[in-house]
Amino acid sequence: MVSVAVNLQQVRARLERACADAQRCVQSVTLLAVSKTVEADRLREACAAGQFAFGENYVQEALDKIQALADLRAQLQWHLIGPLQSNKTREVAEHFDWVHAIDRLRIAERLSAQRPAGRPPLQVCLQVNISGEASKSGVLPAELASLARQVAGLPGLRLRGLMAIPQPSDEPEAQRLPYRALREMLEALRRDEGLDLDTLSIGMSADLEAAVAEGATLVRIGTAIFGSRPVAARSGPDREPTA
């Protein structure tokens, strides 16, 4: 079994190199360790190596790990990066720190109403469908400004920025194009809507460098930290479990 600590060191080195190449400061990019299908004990190994922000895709699996790591809760940041259905919003509002894949007002309204009083606002990103037909999730670019305005006005939430999952490509230039488009959408929301947004949640194990070159402020890295996932969960980042 691969060592989480060694992998983390390698990912941090990649991130440093990518930031140097892009003439960006390495502190401007947050490393999110994507831990779907990974056992709580291996998340503990990551914590011991200084990694405290985790991204999960499936609500129930995440709640089990949040509970298993309750002793570390004050240091941990839990991000939901997978699609969210309305019957799961209450648990997410109660237990997570961030939600990345909001693409409908109704989900945001439920999270807003269900965020417990006294907790800091839930930090949220809107998922944008930047590959057109290729993906079913994400708000369409034409509807983004209107959704952003409405979500930004909801109490209990703080809209931080945009997230996307592009079509995979092995070509560095092809990897950069959709990320560049997303960055331009973020800049347009700041400029035209006056929204105070600071987060571009882009980049995975295979395209971290392209994402950093296009302004990623948060990269979501799974395989390069924890090794490859079981086949059923590997097929796509968007997939909901069938069970």
Ligand X SMILES: *Cc1c(COP(=O)(O)O)cnc(C)c1O
Contact footprint for ligand X (CB under 6 A): 34, 36, 57, 81-82, 165, 204-206, 220-224, 237
Cβ 33 to ligand X, closest distance in Å?
Answer: 9
- The one-letter code for the residue type at 199 is T
* Residue owning tokens 């648990």: 91
Q: What is the DSSP letter of 136?
A: S
Cβ 179 to ligand X, closest distance in Å?
Answer: 13
In the complex with ligand X, the residue whose CB is nearer, 117 or 231, is 231
Cβ-in-10-Å burial (0-12, 13-18, 19+) of 100 comes to: buried
In the complex with ligand X, the residue whose CB is nearer, 89 or 201, is 201
Cβ 184 to ligand X, closest distance in Å?
Answer: 21
In the complex with ligand X, the residue whose CB is nearer, 36 or 110, is 36
In the complex with ligand X, the residue whose CB is nearer, 171 or 196, is 171
DSSP reduced 3-state for 139: strand
Rounded CA separation 210/116 (Å) = 38
Cβ 17 to ligand X, closest distance in Å?
Answer: 17
Residues 87/119, Cβ–Cβ less than 8 Å? no
Q: What is the DSSP letter of 74?
A: T
Rounded CA separation 60/241 (Å) = 11
In the complex with ligand X, the residue whose CB is nearer, 64 or 240, is 240
Rounded CA separation 15/48 (Å) = 20
Annotate 63-75 with b (16+ C-beta within 10 A) or e (fewer): bebbeebeeeeee
Cβ 241 to ligand X, closest distance in Å?
Answer: 12
Copy the structure tokens of residue 174: 């092809």
Cβ 32 to ligand X, closest distance in Å?
Answer: 8
In the complex with ligand X, the residue whose CB is nearer, 49 or 145, is 49
